[in-house]
Amino acid sequence: MKDFRASIAKLLVAQNIGLEEEQILRAVETPPTADLGDYAFPCFALAKVLRKSPQLIAEELAQKVRAEWLSRVEAKGAYLNFYIAAQALVEETLGAIYRDGERYGASDEGAGKTVCIDFSSTNIAKPFHIGHIRSTVQGDAIASIYEFLGYRTVRINYLGDYGTQFGMLINAYRMWGDEQALEADPIHELLRLYVRYNAEAKENAELQERARDSFHLLEQGREEETALWKRFKELSLREFQRVYDLLNIRFDSWDGEFYHSQFIGEVLSELKEKELLVLDDHAMIIPLGEEMPPALILKSNGSSTYITRDIATACHRKKVYDFDESIYVVGTQQNLHFRQLKAVLHKMGYDWADQVEHVPFGMISLKDGAMSTRSGNVVFLEDVLNNSIQKTRQIMEERNPELENKDEVAKAVGIGAVKFQELYNNRIKDYTFSWEDVLNFDGESGPYVQYSAARANRVVWRAAEEFGMMPGYPVDGALLSAEEEHQLLRRLYDFPGTIEQAKTNKEPSLITRQVTEIAKAFNKFYNRIPVLNAPTPELVRARLSLVAASGRVIRIGLRLLGIASPDRM
């Protein structure tokens, strides 16, 4: 595809305005309204160099800058505005969409490169609650984006299957466990035991000590503790898999904290050999200077810590995968932890520490306060997903009772609604969970975008059935010159760049918002411009080709977000 922005920069360089091409490229922007053109260049920075007012510079340049792919260039105040010709926009956009098909926007930039993406990372024996949707859905979308750009991705679910909480659960089960309840509803029963033990341990220091002792025995591999731990893990994974199946999310590795603990000894030996460990009040730490607290490597009782296991994990992943990037999709409250992790890896002499990146996200809270597993104040993610599917099914019964495969479509739309809401806003923002927001299918929502793709499909099917006409390329680009057509084409043209930007920023919301804008532009075009009733066969085919291209790009965008696109709604 022709890069119009870069081409504009080259045109301006040729006018000897005193700026390098890269400087101009950074300055070229998209105007706030369509009447101001497709691109704009502010002339303020040229005033000192050319010794003229920015307005005069813009007027003079508007008379000089010409290209066959520009319909016109105009001065608007201190801005030079560029209007892309319809034929050029159609050639570059529809031409690429029909040439590349389902790979429109893809590239091979990541060929030969490996990216490890650590996401979801649920905790064994704890609820898979609505808060987990952030890491799970964001990480899955980031992985899909990397794959689309040619990278080999390793999707890792770093299970939280180790730590003092298992000492708590082991003791709680021994004291109050109900075998029938555990088998019937594992997560709720384990949550009940965990909450009760936490509550009583606050009043009884002996319970806290017994939990630490039990975890220490688990670390040493004692048979009874290990058997209970394995049982809790197996039951939890069985429950978790149902949610992952609903979300249609897969992993290449489920190796968690327990698996990587086998490499702790090797790491400790290396840290001692490199003289990085310091004894501090019977514990072993690594000082990290004045900018951050020291990393606690071994507790006073000899137990490892979370960062110890993460150091071992990072080193093991580098050996196994030889990654070019290692991404951790983890909440903002772990910012310090990952700064410490990178600092320790640097102290160990590993240049690849710079390949480790923490991709943080904001927190979800409930209307009555923060979620807390210890207090049992959680909303189960599976309940949210099933409720969304159920509501979608009810809406379909009311609006389209004759629709085939209603259950299948309700699942795709209901799950898509939850995912889309999560991925629409910038990942770093905190937000409050609300059933009303999650299950609101109106406005800029997943169902609206999915419906737009289905609507495009319906138009293409009608054209085939009623007129025997199929979309395709080439078409006469000059025919697609209406403002609604131009704006839709611009949205489609920008899509590949949005994917690249989303990868660079690890920000799926850029794609979510772009497919929303494409859907809005498509519906505006379809509602105002006749397609199948256009006056000539050539115009029908040109507009039909634009309809089909719009549907295809929306489907590609939704697929990158992990959202299905039903053919009919």
Annotated catalytic residues are: 126, 129, 132
3-state SS of 204-267?
A: CHHHHHHHHHHHHHHHCCCHHHHHHHHHHHHHHHHHHHHHHHHHCCCCCECCCHHHHHHHHHHH
Which residues fall within 8 angstroms of residue 201, CB to CB, at 6 or more apart? 168, 207, 208, 211
**Cis-peptide into 496, omega within 30 deg:** no
Burial state string for 109-142 with b = 16 or more CB within 10 A and e = fewer than 16? ebeeebbbbbbbbbbbbbbbbbbbbbbbbbbbbb
Q: Which two tokens stand for residue 354?
A: 């710079």
Rounded Cα distance, 499 and 505, in Å? 10
Residues 6+ apart with CB under 8 A from 36: 76, 79, 81
Distance, in Å, from the CA atom of 280 to the CA atom of 221, rounded to the nearest integer, reads 27
Residue 535's CB is within 10 A of a number of other CB atoms, namely: 8
Rounded CA-CA distance 267/297 in Å is 10
Residue 156 forms beta bridges with which residues?
A: 118, 253
Side-chain-facing half-sphere of 412: CA atoms under 13 Å: 21
What whole-number distance in Å separates Cα of residue 562 and Cα of residue 142? 10
Distance CA 238, CA 229 (A): 14
The DSSP line for 289-323 is: -SSSPPEEEE-TTS-B-HHHHHHHHHHHHHHHH--
Helices (H) and strands (E) in the chain, counts: 22, 13
Looking at the DSSP bridge assignments, the partners of residue 62 are: none
Return d(Cα 121, Cα 235) in angstroms, integer: 16
Q: Cα dihedral sign for 67, 70, 75, 80?
A: negative
Cα distance between residue 436 and residue 113, in whole Å: 42
Count of Cβ atoms closer than 10 Å to residue 13 Cβ: 16
Q: Give the distance, in angstroms, between the CA of residue 440 and the centroid of all CA atoms in the same chain.
A: 21
What is the rounded distance in angstroms from the CA atom of residue 320 to the CA atom of residue 328? 17
3-state SS of 398-449 is: HHCCCCCCHHHHHHHHHHHHHHHHHHHCCCCCCEECCHHHHCCCCCCCHHHH
